[in-house]
């Protein structure tokens, strides 16, 4: 379907302003929604506006506006106060070709990227431009430089596909909507873990999300069974609980929890873990086996107690007294 601008309508009564063709031809895909909106506002106001004014118009913070307008500063389209205005030549291709090479994973942390670095990646890879645009749609807000840096590194450093990263972002949003107190760093940690696990397709990502949903259900059951106060598990606790259910069903875990409650004053996952480890060593896998083991233990304990009462003490009290009397060194 073709569209055309209505030549005679009230819209024209408010006047017009000029926009360079390059803004549309070169930056429509590369720039984010809010970067384009901010630039339009500045052009509309005679080519000059404060970050606070732009922020008020777009419903953003001044800090966020400064971050996103840095893109246009790097592109030599905007200048900041006190900045010397000069013609900047296009960067040579060589630095961009070097950026094509994935960073060596022996580096302990992802490389730091400047706004100029991010612009170079946007020029080089349209999928990254799409990712940053979609990220703002999913999050419902403009992204900061730190967040854009994080997203670019997910592709360039961790080697994740854009569609997989978007699934992580959608999961993060759904978790936030459910009331979980998680920050954007949760997204980065999740991306790192997925990269380490070799998750590189939508199918792999869907399977992983199903595992996470299952793990959440198991954790909620543990909270209900044990009465622990932790509403959100640590990575170690999640791994431990997932391990329980690879060997035992909910009935056995509940039984272990009941034993824990009888012997501790406070709920203890470590105590349950110890019980389940003992059952694994003894090849106990049913409530009947647990009962038989407890009865055998009680019987053995009673017999040992009876034998101890009948047996002669392992010490000679009279001999001890005599030795004490003969010991003149004390």
Question: What digits encode the pLDDT tens for the residues 258-269?
Answer: 999 998 888 999
Query: Which string of b and e fits 239-255 if b means at least 16 CB within 10 Å?
Result: ebbeebbeebeeebbbb
Question: What digits encode the pLDDT tens for the residues 177-193?
Answer: 988 878 888 899 999 99
pLDDT score at 167? 96
Residue 226's Cα: distance from chain center in Å? 26
Question: What digits encode the pLDDT tens for the residues 221-246?
Answer: 999 999 888 777 887 888 999 999 99
Q: At which of 80, 115, 131 does a domain end?
A: 80
Question: What digits encode the pLDDT tens for the residues 112-129?
Answer: 888 889 988 988 899 999
Question: What digits encode the pLDDT tens for the residues 33-92?
Answer: 888 899 999 998 988 999 899 999 988 888 888 887 888 888 888 988 766 555 445 445
**327 compared with 20, residue with greater pLDDT:** 20
Return the CA Rg of the chain: 33
Which of 66-70, 278-282, 302-306 has the lowest average pLDDT? 302-306
Cα 300 to Cα 297: distance, rounded to the nearest angstrom = 5
Q: Which of 150, 156, 158 is nearest to 132 (CA)?
A: 150
pLDDT score at 275? 93
- Share of residues in the chain with pLDDT > 90 (%): 40
Q: At which of 28, 45, 80 does a domain end?
A: 80
**150 compared with 101, residue with greater pLDDT:** 150
Which of 132-136, 154-158, 293-297 has the lowest average pLDDT? 293-297
Whether 29 is in a domain gets the answer: yes
- From first CA to last CA, the distance across the chain in angstroms is 111
Can you count the helices (H) and strands (E) in the chain? 16, 0
**276 compared with 5, residue with greater pLDDT:** 276
**52 compared with 314, residue with greater pLDDT:** 52
Whether 11 is in a domain gets the answer: no
pLDDT score at 223? 92
> pLDDT-derived band of residue 14, with 50, 70 and 90 as boundaries?
confident
> pLDDT-derived band of residue 326, with 50, 70 and 90 as boundaries?
low
Domains of the chain: total = 2
Whether 305 is in a domain gets the answer: yes
Give the CATH number of the domain where residue 61 resides: 1.10.10
Long-range contacts of 17-23 (CB under 8 A, 24+ apart): 17/43, 17/44, 18/43, 19/43, 23/77
- Share of residues in the chain with pLDDT > 70 (%): 84
**10 compared with 287, residue with greater pLDDT:** 287
Structural domain boundaries enclosing 48: 17-80
Whether the predicted pLDDT of 104 surpasses 50 = no
Whether 37 is in a domain gets the answer: yes
Q: At which of 53, 80, 107 does a domain end?
A: 80
């Amino acid at each position: 379907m073709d569209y055309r601008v209505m030549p005679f309508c009230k819209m024209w009564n408010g006047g017009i302003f000029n926009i360079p063709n390059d803004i549309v031809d070169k930056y429509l895909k590369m720039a984010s929604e809010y970067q384009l909106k901010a630039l339009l506002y500045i052009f509309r106001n005679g080519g000059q506006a404060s970050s606070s004014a732009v922020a008020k118009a777009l419903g953003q913070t001044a800090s966020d506006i400064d971050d996103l307008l840095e893109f246009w500063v790097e592109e030599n389209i905007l200048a900041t106060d006190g900045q010397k205005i000069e013609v900047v030549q296009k960067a040579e291709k060589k630095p961009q070709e070097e950026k094509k090479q994935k960073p060596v994973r022996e580096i302990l942390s992802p490389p730091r990227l400047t706004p100029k670095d991010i612009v170079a990646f946007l020029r080089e890879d349209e999928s990254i431009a799409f990712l940053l645009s979609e990220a703002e749609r999913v999050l419902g807000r403009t992204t900061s430089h730190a967040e854009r840096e994080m997203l670019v590194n997910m592709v360039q450093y961790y080697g994740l596909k854009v569609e997989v990263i978007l699934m992580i972002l959608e999961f993060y949003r759904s978790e936030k909507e459910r009331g979980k107190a998680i920050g954007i760093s949760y997204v980065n940690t999740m991306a790192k873990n997925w990269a380490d696990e070799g998750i590189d397709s939508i199918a792999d990502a869907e399977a992983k999300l199903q595992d996470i949903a299952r793990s959440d259900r198991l954790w909620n059951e543990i909270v209900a069974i044990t009465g622990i106060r932790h509403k959100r598990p640590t990575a170690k606790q999640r791994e431990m609980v997932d391990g329980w259910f690879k060997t035992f069903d909910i009935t056995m875990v509940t039984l272990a929890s009941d034993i824990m409650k009888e012997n501790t004053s406070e709920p203890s996952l470590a105590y349950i873990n110890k019980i389940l480890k003992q059952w694994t060593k003894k090849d106990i896998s049913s409530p009947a086996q647990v009962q038989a083991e407890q009865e055998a233990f009680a019987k053995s304990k009673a017999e040992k107690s009876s034998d101890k009462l009948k047996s002669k003490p392992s010490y000679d009290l009279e001999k001890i007294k005599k030795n004490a009397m003969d010991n003149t060194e004390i």
